Amino acid sequence: MTALVKARDLVRLGVARAVGRALPFSVTFILTHRCNFRCEYCEIPERAAEEMSDAEFCAAIDELRAAGMARASFSGGEVLLRRDAPRIVGHAKRAGCFTSMNTNGWRTGNVLRDMSGLLDMVVLSLDGPEPVHDLVRRRPGSYARVIAAIEQARGLGMSVATITVVGPWNVARIEEIAELAGSLGVWAYFQPAHEECFDAEAGLHPALTPAVLAEVADRLERLRARGLPLGASPGFLRRLRRAPRFHDCAACHAGRYFATVMPEGWVVPCHLTSGTGKYLNGREVGFARAFFEMPHPQAGDGCAISPYVETDLIFRLDPRAIAAALRRGDGAPGRAGG
C-alpha cells in the first residue's frame, strides 16, 4: 500500500474513518473542460468556461495536501491542452502526493518524458480497435497516437491503464480491447456510457439496458478468469449487475474521502453530482473549507463510473477492491503470453 501513498497518510485516513470525520484523501483536479476531440459519448467540451490559473491550482493542492490529500489525479476535457499541466502535476508530486493523469494520448509527445518522476500513473482512453477508436473519437490517427503513448509511458516506468467507455459502438469488442491491453501489458478498465456527463439522473445510454450490462459483467468476469489484466474488482461487476440502480448516492464516500475540484474552483463530490447542490468555490472560501462544508447528495441510484466505484469500494473496506488496488499499485500486469 505504501507504493500508492505514504504510511503517515494511511494513518491519518484510518483515524478519520475511526472517528467518522471527512478527509480529502483523494482529489481529482479537472484542469479544463476543453478538448481537442468531440467524442460520440461526451459533451464535456460544451461546458468549457473559466479556468483557474496554474498558481491557483497549485495553491489548492497545497491547501488540500495540508488537510489530508494523499492522491491527486488530473483530468479534463483533455488535460494536456493546458501547457502548464506538467507544472501543476509536478507541484502535487513535490508536495508528497501520488499523482495520476487521464489523457486521450493525442498531445503526449515529449510531455510524458518531461513528466518522468513526477507522474506515477497515466490513464489513456481506448475505445476499441483502430477503426472503432478513430470513428468514436472522430479523429483519424488517434488510435495510433494512444498506442504510442502507452508504449512510451511504459518505457518511462509509469504505471499505465486504459479506460474504455462502453456503448453500442464497442460493446461487441470488449474481448478485443482486453486482449489488446494484455498484449501491451497494461490494466484495462471498462465503464458504461452515461447519457449526461454532469447529471447522474439522466441515466445511461439507452442501449445499455440492465440485461446488456449483466452480460457485460459476465464477459468481464470470464476475461479476468482467463488472466487478462482487468482493473475491475468483483464489487464493480456486482454493481453493473444492479443496473440501473447501482448503489445509493447518499451512502457513497464521494464528498467524504474523495472529491473533485472543477476548473472554476468549485469543490464537488463528483462531476455527475456537480449540479445537484449548493457547493462552495475554493477560490472564494478556501479549498479545505469548501471540501469540509460540501453538501452530500441525499438521493440517487449511484453510477457506473469505474474510478468512482472502485474508490468508494476501497473506502468501504471491501477486501477484494483493496486487493485489486494493491495489485495495480505493484505496477504493470505483464504482457499476455509473456
pLDDT at 338 over 50: no
pLDDT score of 331: 61
Query: In whole angstroms, how large is the CA radius of gyration of the chain?
Result: 18
Confidence of residue 36 (pLDDT cuts 50, 70, 90): confident
So what's the pLDDT on residue 4? 59
pLDDT on residue 45? 78
| Confidence at residue 334, expressed as pLDDT on a 0 to 100 scale | 54
CA 114 → CA 123, 147, 166, 306, distances in Å?
A: 17, 19, 32, 28
Whether the pLDDT of residue 228 is over 90: the answer is yes
38 Cβ contact list (under 8 Å, min separation 6): 45, 138
The model's pLDDT over 231-265, given as tens digits with 9 standing for 90+, comes to 899 999 999 999 999 988 999 999 999 999 999 99
Residue 88, Cβ density class (10 Å: 0-12 exposed, 13-18 middle, ≥19 buried): buried
Whole-model pTM: value is: 0.93
Residue with cell 502535487: 92
Report strand pairing: 258-261 vs 267-268. Answer: antiparallel
Residue 121: phi, psi to the nearest 5? -145, 140
What integer pLDDT is reported at residue 330 of this predicted model? Answer: 61
Give the whole-angstrom CA distance, residue 33 versus residue 238.
Answer: 31
Q: How confident is the model at residue 332 (pLDDT cuts 50, 70, 90)?
A: low
